[in-house]
Chain A
Amino acid sequence: MIVFAAAVIIMTLFAGVFAPNDPYKTSATVIRTAPCADYPFGTDNLGRCVFSRVLYGGRTTIAATFFLVFVSFAIGTVIGMVCGYYGGIADRIFMRIADITLGFPQMVVAIAVAGILGAGMKGAMIALGITMWISFARLARSHTYSIKNEAYVKTVLFTGKSDFYIIMVHIFPNLMGPVLTNALTQIGTTMIGLSGLSFLGLGIIPPTAEWGSMISEARAYIQIAPWSVFYPAAATIITIIIFNYLGDVVMDYREAG
C-alpha cells in the first residue's frame, strides 16, 4: 500500500512529466472524445484531456489535503504541548474552546464558512481547519501531561534544563507516534471534505483542475461522456482507500505494540 501511496503522490506531484496533454488547453475539435491513444481517459466538454486533468487535479487535492493536515497538526500539537506542559489558565481556556468547538457539527460549519467567505480553496481550507486542529491539540495535550509526570522528565528538570529543551527533546519525540497516526487517519476524511466542498462549488474555482469540481462539472453530460466522470471518481476513491488503509494499518500496529 505504501508503494501505491508513493505512486499516487509521485504521479500527481510530477503531473507535468506524466500528463500527455496540457490540462487547460481547450479544443473545439475533440469535444467529449472517448478514451483513445491521444487521450487515455477521453476529453471533457471543452475538449480538455481528462487524464492530464486527473493528474493535475490530484495535485490540487492532495497538496491541499497535506497542507491542511500539516498546518492543523502543527498548530494543534504546539497548543496541546504548551497547554499540557504548563497547565494553568491558558490550558483551561484553550481546552474550553476545544470542547465548545467540538460541539459544532464540522461539515455544517465548513459549508457556512466556505459559503460566506466566498469560493476558493483558501476558504474551504479555513472552513475545515477551524475544527480540525482540535483532535491534534487534545491528543498532544494528554500525552504531554502524562510524559511530563514520568520520572525521567522530572530528573531532567533537576539538571536545570529549560522548559523549551524538555519539550523539544523529551516530550515532542515521544508524542510524535500517536499524533502522526492521527494525522494519517485525517488524510482520507480531509480529502472527502475538501473534494465535497469543491463539488458543491465552495472549494476550488474552475478552470483549476480538482477532482470534486471535475466530477461536478462533468455530471451534467454524464450520459454522453461518462468517462469524464468515472476517471476522476475512480482516482478519488482509490486515493482515499489507499490513505485510509495506511491509517488503519498504522493504527492497528500501534494498538498491538
Chain B
Amino acid sequence: MIRSVLKKLAEIIIILVVLSFFVFVLLYIAPGDPAEKRLTSQGIVVTKQVLDAERERLGLLKPFLVRYGEWLFSVIKGDFGVSFKDDMPVAPKLYKGLVNTCILAFSSLMLSLSLSFTLGVASAVKKDGIFDHIVRIFSFVANSLPNFLISVLLMYFFCIKLDIFPVIAAGDLQGLVMPVLSLAIPMTGRFTRQIRAEILNRMNEDYVTGMKGRGVKNRYIILNVVRNSLGHIFTIVALQIGTLMGGSVVIETIFRWPGIGKLVMDSISARDYPVIMGFVLIMGAIYVVVNSLSDVLDRTLDPRISE
C-alpha cells in the first residue's frame, strides 16, 4: 500500500516537472522578447542599453537551464513571479481567480453529476424503454454541443430575448446560473452516456444473475450494482476535469466571470507570460492530483483491480 502511494507520488512529480519544463520551453521559443515587450508596451522606443539593462534585470541573459532551475525553485515556494503588465506578484491573482473558477466548476460539476446520475441509472434500469430513448437522444446531442455555442445560445434566449439573467456575470449567485448551465449541459450528456454504459455493463455480471436467481428484489440488485460502480463513476468524472478546465476558460471569457480562465485569456492578449505559466502549472497539478486520487479510490473500492 505504502509502496503504491509512493509510486503514485513519484509519478505526479514527474508529470509536473515535465509539464513545467514543457511550458518553459514553449515560452523560450515564443516569438518576442519579454524585455522588449515590457519596455515598449507604452509605445515608447528604447535604446539598446536600456534594453540590455532590462534583460539583465529580468535574468534573461543567464543560460536556459539556470533560468529554468531558478524559476522552478521559486514556483515550488509558491512564487510565480511578477506580472509583465503591472509588476504585481502573479500568485495572488492566480489564487483569486482559482477560487472563482472552483466555485463555477464545482457548481456545474454537482449539477451535472446529480442530473446524469439520475438519468443514467434510470435509463439503464429501464433499458430500451421510451425514457431510455429520450435520455439517449438528449445525451447524444448534448455531448455534441461545443460549450461556447451553448453559452452564446443560452445568452441569446435567456439574457436578451427573455431578459431573466444578466448578460455579464457580476460574480454573484444570479450571474452564476448561465455559466454553470453552459458548462453543465455538455458534461451531463457525456456523464449520462458513460454512467448508463457502466451500469449496463455491471448488470451482466455473474453476481447479478445469481441475485436474480435467488429472487432478490430488483431494487436491491440495482442498489448493489450502483454501489459497485461508484468507483468507476468517480474515474469517469476525474477524466472530465480537464475538459471542464478548458471549458471554463471559454465560459468565463464569454460571461466575464472573474476566474482563472478569464485571467489567462486577458494575459494571452497582453502577452503576460508569468500568468500563463502559472495557469498551466496550477491546472496541471489539479488535474494530475485528481486523477491519481480517483485511481487510488477506484482500487480501494474495487479490490479486484489492486492485484
Residues of A within 8 A of B (CB): 100, 103-113, 115-118, 188, 192, 195-196, 199-202, 212, 215-216, 219, 222-223, 226, 229, 233, 236-237, 240-241, 244-245, 248
Contact = CB atoms under 8 A, between A and B. Distances in A.
Given A112-B23, A112-B276, A199 B241 contact: no
Given A105-B246, A116-B30, A245 B152 contact: no
A244 B246 contact: no
Interface string B263-304: 011001100010010011001100110010000000000000
Nearest to B269: A201
A240 B246 CA distance: 19
Contacts of B147: 196
Point out which of B14, B26, B143, B149 has the most chain A C-beta atoms below 10 A from its C-beta: B149
Given A113-B26, A237-B144, A215 B279 contact: no
Interface stretch (B117-125, B170-178, B247-255): B247-255
A108 B144 contact: no
A188 B146 CA distance: 10
Contacts of A195: 146, 148
Given A215-B149, A222-B156, A241-B141, A111 B264 contact: yes
B152 A107 contact: no
B160 A200 contact: no
Point out which of B11, B27, B269, B283 has the most chain A C-beta atoms below 10 A from its C-beta: B283
A116 B276 contact: yes
Interface of B: 11, 14-15, 18-19, 23, 26-27, 30-31, 140-141, 143-149, 152-153, 155-156, 160, 241-243, 245-247, 249-250, 253-254, 264-265, 268-269, 273, 276, 279-280, 283-284, 287-288, 291
Given A105-B241, A199-B148, A233-B152, A112 B26 contact: yes
14 contacts: A100-B18, A103-B19, A104-B287, A105-B284, A107-B249, A108-B249, A108-B284, A116-B30, A117-B26, A201-B269, A212-B148, A215-B148, A222-B155, A229-B152
Contacts of A241: 140-141, 144
Secondary structure at the A interface, as helix, strand, loop or mixed, is helix
B144 A244 contact: yes
Given A116-B26, A199-B148, A226-B156, A108 B31 contact: no
A236 B246 contact: no
Contacts of A222: 152, 155-156, 160
A103 B287 contact: yes
A223 B57 CA distance: 50
A61 B243 CA distance: 20
Given A105-B242, A112-B279, A233-B149, A202 B144 contact: no
A49 to B, nearest CB: 21
Contact of A199 (B15, B242, B250): B250
A112 B274 CA distance: 12
Contact of B140 (A108, A200, A229, A244): A244
Contacts of A116: 26-27, 30, 268, 273, 276
A233 B144 CA distance: 12
Contacts, number: 122
Given A105-B283, A108-B287, A116-B30, 10 more contacts: A100-B18, A106-B243, A108-B283, A111-B268, A116-B268, A117-B30, A196-B250, A199-B250, A202-B268, A212-B148
Nearest to B152: A219
Point out which of A110, A112, A196, A229 has the most chain B C-beta atoms below 10 A from its C-beta: A112
Nearest to A236: B149
A105 B244 CA distance: 9
B143 A244 contact: yes
Contacts of B247: 107
B250 A103 contact: no
Contact of B249 (A111, A118, A212): A111
A105 B287 contact: yes
Point out which of A100, A113, A117, A248 has the most chain B C-beta atoms below 10 A from its C-beta: A100
A112 B260 CA distance: 13
B245 A108 contact: yes
B246 A107 contact: yes
B152 A104 contact: no
B276 to A, nearest CB: 6
Contacts of B15: 100, 103-104
Contacts of B146: 192, 195-196, 199, 212, 236, 240
Contact of A111 (B140, B246, B288): B246
A140 B14 CA distance: 25
Contacts of A107: 242-243, 245-247, 249
A62 B148 CA distance: 18
Contacts of B242: 104-108
B144 A200 contact: no
Contacts of B144: 188, 237, 240-241, 244
Contact of A229 (B156, B245, B249): B156
A115 B264 contact: yes
A95 B160 CA distance: 50
